[in-house]
Structure 1
Amino acid sequence: MTKITHILFDCDNTLVLSEELAFEACADLANIILASQGITDKYTGPQLMGEFIGQNFRGMMNGLQKKYNFQLGDQTFNKYVTQEEDMVIAKLEAKAQPCVNCMPVLQEVHDSGKYGMAVVSSSAHRRVLASVTKVDQLKYFPADVIFSAATSLPKPTSKPDPAVYIHAMKAVGKQPSECVAVEDSKSGTGAAVNAGILTIGYVGPYEKEGREKQDEMAKLLTEVGAKVIMYDWKEFWECLEKIEQMPASRL
């Protein structure tokens, strides 16, 4: 049996319905950056989501620079990173909502006293803090258990690099065998799996695109390494039980 003592949650579209809002802001800024390089292609929020879901702005910009063969200097790059954070946070503070049915589950996990809880995100710490504050999740995730691949590490990264998960586990004093991750994207699932963590793949955010899209994402996350798929937060305890019943040899 697997003894789980800590649950590590992705934030964007796992705890908070934030991806669409964030990518709206990202698209506005990405188009400005591309135009500054003489590139006429323009992106919408959904187009960026399709190409870069689960990555932070640094990861997205690195991808665009490679795709269009241009290079921003460090000072300019960091200026845009800060500008993007400000734009996204403004949208989140105005419109963010919790993922469907997650709030009762978070309360149950908290009240059980059996599991530690932390957020492990690609997004900047202040953006995640803004998200969880807006949707009243700060009571479950105070600032010191929010870990960001963009701002918590000596060198910023983005999922699927497992560095942020490794950092988070070190900070909370846990081994991979003691943790479960909850992730909604290929890159996020890859990061958790690459860190040695058994992972629940959450496909709830894709519900509005239809069951076919959810099944497609379930297949993708399973291929990346998710051990259990969760279609709705109401299934969380069942999914966690499946993880806990797995033999240690499956880690």
Structure 2
Amino acid sequence: MKALKLVIFDCDGVLVDSEPITNQIFLDILQGYGLSIPHEEFVAKYVGSGMSVVKALLYQHHNFTLPDDFFKSFNAMSIEALERDLKAIKNVEKAIDDLNVPFCLASNSSPEKVRLMLKKTTLFNRFDGKIFTSSLVAAPKPAPDIYLHAAKANGVSPENVLVIEDTHIGVTAAVAAGMNVFGYTGTFPAEKLINAGASKTFGDMNDLKGLIEQTYG
């Protein structure tokens, strides 16, 4: 195993518990438009994808076109709910503070949403100046662009990067970038993350330090 020189965290579902909050809002709005999708189906088929991909998949799977005002409603309701209910993932602060290498985050979410979420928790000061979003690159995850961009900005080769991801789409992106990936099982089961290319999985952020030591020495 190559030496570890950088850890890149996904944000939603890895640093903060935003996934259940925003997923339910998305489903509630769709229900208001007359489209009912079971939560399990929504997570399996849509979570982790960029909004443009979700829009295309909804049309493909349900012949449903999102109304023009959907994203305005979704964003407004999401911001309100995140400001009210968002929490950091349990034990993630200690997991970050225990790292002895540089770290940053790479997310498909907008810069505004990422900053809002980090400021709602105790995480913003840890990641200020270390935030990379898909707005900076040509294509969001599952393309590798954002991970390659973050590594380059830190002056680190992909083979020396460890990525922490909670979705198969994010894992796919990191693997395509030539990076090692640990899958955090807060959103998807371990099998799905392993099948996407994660080298290890874990369900408690307290376990991250030990997994890094086992892998990199």
Fold shared by both chains (TM-score > 0.5): yes
The number of residue pairs the alignment matches comes to 217
Deviations 1:163-209 (A, max 9, x none): 21122222222210121000111111111111111001111x25xxx
Q: What's the counterpart of residue 98 of structure 2? A: 108
Q: Tell me if structure 2 keeps the 8 A contact 1:25–1:45.
A: no
Radius of gyration: which is bigger?
Answer: 1
Q: Tell me if structure 2 keeps the 8 A contact 1:218–1:229.
A: yes
Distance 2:97 2:156 in 1: 22
Q: What's the counterpart of residue 53 of structure 1? A: 47
Distance 1:83 1:60 in 2: 16
- Deviation of 1:95 after TM superposition, in Å, equals 0.5
CA distance 1:174–1:94, shift in 2 (3 Å): same
Q: Tell me if structure 1 keeps the 8 A contact 2:58–2:65.
A: no
Q: Tell me if structure 2 keeps the 8 A contact 1:182–1:201.
A: yes
Aligned match for 2:179, one of 192, 197, 200: 197
Distance 1:43 1:70 in 2: 12
Q: What's the counterpart of residue 163 of structure 1? A: 145
Helix, strand or coil: the match of 1:115? coil
Which amino acid in 1 is paired with 2:136?
Answer: S
CA distance 1:99–1:72, shift in 2 (3 Å): closer
TM-score (norm 2): 0.88
Q: In terms of mean alpha carbon deviation, does 12-21 or 219-228 score higher?
A: 219-228
Q: What's the counterpart of residue 21 of structure 2? A: 21
Q: What's the counterpart of residue 84 of structure 2? A: 94
TM-score (norm 1): 0.77
Q: Percent identity?
A: 24
The list of structure 1 runs, each at least 4 consecutive aligned residues, that deviate by more than 6 angstroms after superposition, is: none
CA distance 1:173–1:186, shift in 2 (3 Å): same
Q: Tell me if structure 1 keeps the 8 A contact 2:91–2:206.
A: yes
Q: What's the counterpart of residue 210 of structure 1? A: none
Helix, strand or coil: the match of 1:97? coil
CA distance 1:48–1:219, shift in 2 (3 Å): closer
Deviations 1:13-61 (A, max 9, x none): 11111101111222233345xx3xxxx4323655422321222333221
1:122 matched to 2:108? The reply is yes
Q: What's the counterpart of residue 174 of structure 1? A: 156
